Chains A and B, each alone.
Chain A
């Protein structure tokens, strides 16, 4: 007689065989010598970050640190600059926080903790950062954002970072979260937009222990509501590695500040000027339209990207940008709080002008996000089938999540939404395989192991940094790398037979993160890319024809030409 188990096993096996293959293999990021062995819950060599106490008594402890991906040593592979925080007790004693750490990549995806000239002194409480070549020397410099003075690190010819905060023109104190480099005025020099959160002073704000702030009946840390938001800042680049605060002429004084968390750069209206989209927590998101000469106007409401479909402000955390419906205009995706939905602002040209509306429901992105609290997110073709996908890293702000009546959990699974074309998505049921839920925060995805597909990192607050190796990309890919400081804002277009795609080059990662200045394209089963065209911000145009795709991926590096100007700005 057959047992019940013997009857069930074939069914179970069938189920396993039918489950979609995972897209990512998730594992704690392990680097010899970089680990803090005091944390028992993660492997011995796992890299972890500090962000206050696990109890989360203060809002400063909640958001976690930052992930900046770029080629710092100029060896052609993507390195990592990891930014992390401190503890309220250390700040109270005027002690520095944890230092940012550089992890250099050997090209095959093996990282080592960089020492010597790459060692960066600790600031007060690191949050995120931005990457760009601020002095035009061809190497990647970094801005580290802090609760405290922001910092500028100049890359010393790929040999290490040198701090140049003092005479940089940066260093405004406050709580900065995310930042973006862009050439706002078309002068070929990078400018900097810094997103800032709120005025935080533990001496003036009650701690969770005071039980003054309540969420679903549970005492939690206070904020952001009830606290004072801080205005964002804009710094005009001087070209020599220094900046001038130009917030006033930018137009920042014309709007009420929000609780800023994320930022992306994108030419939203395709007028050749880079615009900025800022996600604000519990306050309307801002869309800064570039008017030229360093002047911007805030048009979030008029463009339909400030609020959700019901006209309500949401928790605005991370941002992803890309043309998900293939209409030639960028669409915007914003992660939000649990109980809210992640907003997907799709462009439309139905009327007489470019407008956006929150189409998250019709796009099938809303429902699966309601129980989750999203942070880091990125829109890219992770499975390389020719359609843009979305990755969302989740985790609640309150350790109390999971208590009775909260309808959510503190640790949450990350999600991938596979693009189906026309702005529609389906949640991948097993994108991260058997990875456990984490209290996720910032994330950044790029080709870490040189195989052409997109891998990534995510920060787990009070836990490990997680590494996601892409093991499920089924199609082929083209990676376009752009050389110079002037590549930010370039529009890269790719043609394969009847299909065309485009990307805009940016290093702004959406939430406390930075990405390489490159453009990744999934091209399905194609063996050849017919044409690549780059419209540089300067007006110059580059074109490369007939790129063969061998072993699943191709990589081209394109420098800006000196001539062949078209549509000068």
Chain B
């Protein structure tokens, strides 16, 4: 039984690393029609409050390795399988599938700490911030000493506009964990919203010490400088952020604001034009992402996302969109077309390293497709890797023309 418990702990630790970034997109919780799905899935009709607590004291020593064997012996059947499904679904951004699995776990083990923790992260990704907060609170009710694992609770509080509570939670988390850039960024944003710009600036600088090119932190730093009246520095910071994230309209907006403030109206108007184009594109992107939220496997929408990202020439956005498209396609023709799009997109942008990685991925994903090898021969040649090009040509001949 102890191995079963150990696997639970491993599972939990893996899930604790789930990314719950306080992304710019999440700051604006889309709230008007044009929404997410024609029907609310059954799993979302249930509230987390529908799962009553029962014997919470059972889990008091859950995170104590010495107690794992004892606890594991009492786990209800299906709990581990449910958690594995939830973890896998989360990694694939299949949040509804994950939530269903978590609900099944909570039905048989109402206070199972990992289930509430993962539910917090899953609800967050589904933009159900109140439910995310509730899930984290349920987790902390049974595992109060595990606060280090709950920075997502700070994100939920922040998004609900409860900035003071968010700040206090981030500070509490920071007392129990390593210096995390994500938590510091959250803390800085909460401080910014509370009007504590000096403190926010200090924490943003700490984030940037570890990651000097973090575009999001750079943009927020520029915003903070603007709020503090350091307009010229804000302009400089905004332009640096825009270099690292050319598809994001926000740094351009801050630069425009700073230029107007500095009385450089002509330049401001040029930035305004640029911002308008980027904002339109970002609005389209947000709309597509909203439609993908509950039903992420829609290749045609993922492809639209790629087209949108390519137009911005933002490598980060393009990579993320291609990743979404890859996840949306299943082996076969659709996977091949996704691979082709990835390689050709990167080649078209002259991004040799990314194109090489995409070609290698294509070799793995589409190994049984003759058409893939035929194209790979061309791609590798274009990348100057004649040895791989020759090998691809040979593979194409071996498999026979389609």
* A and B part of one assembly: yes
**A: which residues have CB within 8 A of B?**
211, 213-220, 222-223, 225-226, 282, 301-302, 304, 307, 309-312, 315, 337-341, 348, 350-353, 355, 357, 359, 361-364, 366-371, 404-405, 407, 424
Contacts of B37 in A (CB 8 A): 214, 217
Within residues 156 to 177 of chain B, which ones have a CB less than 8 A from any CB in chain A? Answer: 160-164
Task: State the Cβ distance, A198 to closest chain B Cβ, in Å.
Answer: 13
Closest 8 CB pairs of A and B: A370-B161, A311-B253, A352-B263, A217-B40, A362-B195, A339-B31, A214-B35, A339-B29
Task: Known contacts A214-B36, A225-B32, A315-B32; decide if A366 and B260 are in contact (CB<8 Å).
Answer: no
Q: Does B257 contact A (CB under 8 A)?
A: yes
B257's contact among A225, A352, A357, by CB below 8 Å, is which?
Answer: A357
A340 and B195 contact, CB distance less than 8 A: no
Name the residue among A301, A348, A404 with the largest chain B CB count within 10 angstroms.
A404
Cross-chain contact B161 with A404 (CB below 8 angstroms): no
A359: chain B residues within 8 A (beta carbon):
227
B35 touches A355 (CB 8 A): no
| Contact, CB under 8 Å: A311 / B250 | yes
Is B27 among interface residues, defined by CB-CB distance under 8 A? Answer: yes
A225 surroundings in chain B (CB, below 8 A)? 32-34
B23 to chain A minimum Cβ distance, whole angstroms, is 12
Task: Given A214-B38, A367-B161, decide whether A337 and B31 contact each other with a Cβ distance below 8 A.
Answer: yes
Asked whether, in the complex, the Cβ of B195 is within 8 Å of the Cβ of A311, the reply is no
Task: Check: B6 CB closer than 8 A to any chain A CB.
Answer: no
Asked whether B195 lies within 8 Å of A214 as measured between CB atoms, the reply is: no
**A355-B260, A404-B46 are known contacts. Are A361 and B193 too (CB-CB below 8 A)?**
yes
Contacts of A351 in B (CB 8 A): 231, 260-263
Q: Decide: A223 and B33 in contact? CB cutoff 8 A.
A: yes
A123 to B77, CA, bound (A): 67
Whether the Cβ atoms of A407 and B249 lie closer than 8 Å is no
Out of B47, B253, B262, B268, name the residue touching A404 (CB < 8 Å): B47
The answer, yes or no, to whether B272 is at the interface (CB within 8 Å) is: yes
- Interfacial chain A residues near B265, Cβ < 8 Å: 302
Given that A309-B223, A361-B194, A404-B45 are contacting pairs, would A217 and B275 also be in contact in the complex, using a CB cutoff of 8 Å?
no
Q: Are A282 and B260 in contact (CB under 8 A)?
A: no
A214 engages B279 (CB within 8 Å): no
Q: Check B216 for interface membership: any CB of A closer than 8 A.
A: no
Q: Which one of A301, A302, A340 lies within 8 Å of B31 (CB-CB)?
A: A340
Knowing A216-B31, A216-B36, A404-B46 touch, does A424 contact B263 (C-beta < 8 A)?
A: no
Interface residues of B in 238-292 (CB under 8 A from A): 249-250, 253, 257, 260-263, 265, 268, 272, 275, 279
CA gap between A310 and B162 in the complex, in Å: 18
Chain A residues lying within 8 Å of B161, measured Cβ to Cβ, are 341, 366-371
Residues of A within 8 A of B41 (CB): 217
Chain B neighbourhood of A404, CB < 8 A:
40, 44-47, 128, 131
Question: How many B residues face the partner with a CB closer than 8 A?
Answer: 55
The answer to whether A362 touches B261 (Cβ under 8 A) is no
Q: Which residues of A contact B272 (CB under 8 A)?
A: 301
A213–B33 CB distance below 8 A:
yes
Q: Which residue of the partner chain A has the closest CB to B48? A: A404
Query: Could you tell me which residues of chain B, from 138 to 187, have a CB within 8 Å of some CB in chain A?
Result: 160-164
B162 near A350 (CB under 8 angstroms)? no
25 A-B pairs with C-beta separation under 8 A: A211-B38, A211-B39, A216-B31, A216-B36, A225-B33, A225-B34, A310-B24, A310-B253, A311-B250, A337-B32, A338-B31, A339-B31, A350-B229, A351-B231, A352-B263, A361-B195, A367-B162, A367-B193, A368-B161, A370-B160, A404-B44, A404-B46, A404-B47, A404-B128, A407-B128
Question: Quick check: A350 and B34 within 8 Å, CB to CB?
Answer: no
Cα distance, A350 to B229, chains bound together (Å)? 7
Give A100 to B103 CA distance when docked, in angstroms: 53
Assembled-state Cα–Cα distance A361/B163 (Å): 10
Give the docked Cα–Cα distance between A213 and B272 (Å).
Answer: 32
* Alpha-carbon distance between A449 and B226 when the two chains are bound, in angstroms: 46
| Contact assessment for B34 and A226 in the assembled complex, using a CB-CB cutoff below 8 Å | yes
Instruction: Chain A residues near B24: list those with CB within 8 A.
Output: 310
Check if A217 sits within 8 Å of B36, measured CB to CB.
yes
Instruction: Find the A residue at minimum CB distance from B35.
Output: A214
- A301 surroundings in chain B (CB, below 8 A): 272
Contacts of A223 in B (CB 8 A): 33
Cα distance A425–B36 when bound, in Å?
Answer: 36
In the assembled complex, how far is the CB of residue A222 from the closest CB belonging to chain B, in whole angstroms? 6
Bound Cα distance A341, B164 (Å): 15
Q: Is the CB of B294 within 8 A of A217?
A: yes
Give Cα A368 to B160, complex, Å. Answer: 9
Extra contacts, 15 of them, besides A217-B41, A341-B161 (Cβ < 8 A), are A213-B33, A216-B31, A216-B35, A226-B34, A310-B250, A312-B28, A337-B31, A339-B29, A340-B28, A351-B231, A351-B262, A352-B263, A366-B161, A367-B161, A404-B46
- Neighbouring A residues of B28 by C-beta, 8 Å: 310, 312, 339-340
Does chain A have a CB within 8 A of B116? no
A310 touches B32 (CB 8 A): no
Whether A311 lies near B275 (C-beta < 8 A) is yes
Report which residue of B28, B31, B36, B226 has the largest number of chain A beta carbons within 10 angstroms of its beta carbon: B31
Residue of B nearest to A360 (CB): B193
Interface contact B294-A215, CB-CB below 8 Å: no
Q: How far is the CA of A337 from the CA of B29 in the complex (A)?
A: 10
In the complex, the answer to whether A310 meets B40 with C-beta atoms within 8 Å is no
Is the CB of B122 closer than 8 A to any CB of chain A? no
- Looking at the assembled complex, report how far the CB atom of A208 sits from the nearest CB atom of chain B, in whole angstroms: 10
Out of A214, A353, A363, A370, which one reaches B33, CB within 8 Å?
A: A214
Q: Does B331 contact A (CB under 8 A)?
A: no
In the complex, what distance in Å separates the CA atom of A387 from the CA atom of B35? 41
- Quick one: which of B130, B194, B279 contacts A311, CB cutoff 8 A? B279
**Docked pose: A218 CA to B262 CA in angstroms:** 46
The reply to whether the CB of B197 lies closer than 8 angstroms to some CB of chain A is yes
Q: Does B192 contact A (CB under 8 A)?
A: yes
Alpha-carbon separation in the docked complex, A350 to B47 (Å): 49
Known A-B contacts A214-B38, A311-B279, A351-B261; the reply to A407 vs B129 at CB < 8 A is yes
Residue of A nearest to B162 (CB): A367
**How many whole Å from B54's CB to the nearest CB in chain A?**
22
Among B33, B44, B46, B129: residue with most chain A CB under 10 A: B33
A225 to B33, CA, bound (A): 7
Which residues of B, 314-365, contact A by the 8 Å Cβ criterion? Answer: none
Contact status B261-A350, CB under 8 Å? yes
Tell me, yes or no, whether B212 is within 8 Å of chain A by CB: no
- A213→B31 CA distance, assembly (Å): 12
Interface assignment of B384: CB less than 8 Å from any CB of chain A: no
Residues in A with CB closer than 8 Å to B78 are none
- Rounded to whole Å, the gap between the CB of B216 and the closest CB of chain A is 12
Tell me if B210 counts as interface (CB < 8 A to partner A): no
Q: Which of B31-69 contact A (CB under 8 A)?
A: 31-41, 44-47
A353 close to B263 (CB less than 8 A)? yes
Cα separation A339 to B257 with both chains bound (whole Å)? 24
* Contact yes or no, A218 B160, CB < 8 A: no
- Chain A positions within 8 Å of B19 at CB level: none
> How close is A385's CB to chain B, nearest CB, in angstroms?
21
B160 near A362 with CB under 8 A, answer no
The residue in chain A whose Cβ has the minimal distance to the Cβ of B126 is A405
- B227–A362 contact, CB under 8 A? yes
Contact residues in A for B160 (Cβ distance below 8 Å) = 370-371, 407
Residues of A within 8 A of B128 (CB): 404-405, 407
Give complex CA distance A367, B127 in Å: 18
Asked if A217 and B260 make an inter-chain contact with CB atoms under 8 angstroms apart, the answer reads no
State in angstroms the CA–CA spacing of A424 and B130 once bound together. 28
A355 contacts which of B31, B162, B261, B279 (Cβ < 8 Å)? B261
Complex CA–CA separation, A309 to B249 (angstroms): 12
Q: Cβ of B32 and Cβ of A304 under 8 Å apart?
A: no
Q: Which residue of B lies closest to A348 (CB)?
A: B261
Task: Report the nearest B residue to A352, measured CB to CB.
Answer: B263
- The chain A residue with its CB closest to the CB of B49 is A404
Give the distance in Å from the alpha carbon of A355 to the alpha carbon of B160 in the complex: 29
